[in-house]
Amino acid sequence: MPSTPDIQAVRQYLLELQDSITTALRQSDGGAGFRQDSWERPDGGGGRTRVMEGGMVFEQCCINYSHVFGNALPPSASAQRPELAGRRFQAMGVSLVCHPQNPYVPSSHLNVRFFIAEKDGADPVWWFGGGFDLTPYYGFMEDVIHWHRNARAACAPFGDDLYPRFKRWCDDYFFIRHRNEPRGIGGLFFDDFDQGGFEQAFGLVRSVGDHYLTGYIPIVNRRWAKIYGDRERAFQKYRRGRYVEFNLVQDRGTLFGLQSGGRTESILASMPPEVSWRYDYRPEPGTPEAELYEHFLVVRDWIEEPEQGAD
């Protein structure tokens, strides 16, 4: 099994992925473009951050590419692999979050990343991680089924076991422990992945990255023009608060970026631009807001569900 990774090939793919997603989201929005900031990390490496604000469809989108390195893995990375503490490392990835204007369009998240930890006199240890997930504010069964079928298609060429495995991992990871509820309806999540050697693992990561747009853009196109009012907008802002809570309290990617000395503006550009919190809010029974909690913020096998939901 080949174990020597092609770091340059990973880097090239990630840069091309950022470019292709940038182009697709700009075309889907039809309004605002992306601002780009290139940055350098004092301890080694850097990246480029692209942010769209105030678009016709997207209130804010952030697409980050980063490639950083250092003399020791930060605690958020070595906590799962304590035997690697103290090794020098390289980490590179693309991470994006889209927050739409229309409450009927879900927020979405993608991350694909590569780590390599090295030590003189020892073989390098490398792995891939990433996935994508969807955070709706109003539930549409058609959208959820499409999202999960697309996720299954991304994994299918690499083994029938991967989609159910990565779906469970996503359900577990994007669960807001202090709220005892899922962040959204899930998707795929994996980490420490080197199954089948470098070429096989890299192929899976490319497939996941390439399937993000085929999962998200059809949902955006179906929902972005749907009429909404103050009630839907208020609920969207309230639910966005859950996104903030998860990212700041639990997310390993956010913690890694901050602990490794990454660019704070780029790391926190994933946050939604307008958010609200309400004390002990509970939606009225029988409303679309209540339906989100009762029928969508639950762990289930979405692919086998009948295609029905709120219109």
Distances (CA, A) of 125 to 11, 130, 193, 197, 199: 17, 17, 11, 12, 15
8 burial (CB, 10 Å; 0-12 / 13-18 / 19+) is exposed
pLDDT at 3: 61
**In one letter, which amino acid is 10?**
V
Burial 10-31 (b: 16+ CB within 10 A, else e): beebbeebbeebbeebbebbee
Number of other residues whose CB lies within 10 A of the CB of residue 157: 11
Helices (H), the chain: 7-29, 75-78, 141-155, 162-173, 198-223, 230-249, 252-259, 264-267, 288-291
Residues of the chain with pLDDT under 50: 1-2, 309-310
* Residue 95, marked binder: yes
* Residue 295, marked binder: no
* Residue 263, marked binder: yes
User: Which structure tokens are listed for 235?
Assistant: 């609920």
- Closest CA relative to residue 24, chosen from 57, 48, 65, 66: 57
pLDDT at 81: 72
72 burial (CB, 10 Å; 0-12 / 13-18 / 19+) is middle
146 is known as an active-site residue: no
- Closest CA relative to residue 155, chosen from 81, 209, 111: 209
Strand arrangement, sheet containing 58-70: 35-40, 45-53, 58-70, 88-100, 107-118, 125-135, 186-193
- Does the pTM surpass 0.85? The reply is yes
Distances (CA, A) of 62 to 49, 108, 123, 266: 7, 11, 36, 8
Contact partners, residue 111, CB within 8 Å, separation at least 6: 93, 94, 95, 96, 129, 130, 131, 132, 253
pLDDT at 306: 67
Q: Which domains does the chain have, with CATH numbers?
A: 7-296 (3.40.1500.10)
pLDDT at 1: 43
Of 109, 146, 211, 295, the catalytic one is 109
* Residue 211, marked binder: no
Ramachandran region, residue 247 (left: φ > 0; alpha: ψ -120 to 50; beta: rest):
alpha
Reported for 293-296, long-range contacts at CB under 8 A and 24+ positions apart, including other chains, are 293/181, 295/139, 296/136, 296/139, 296/144, 296/185
* Residue 261, marked binder: yes
- Closest CA relative to residue 302, chosen from 208, 191, 164, 177: 164
DSSP letters for 181-230: EESSSEEEEEEEE-TT-HHHHHHHHHHHHHHHHHHHHHHHHHHTT----H
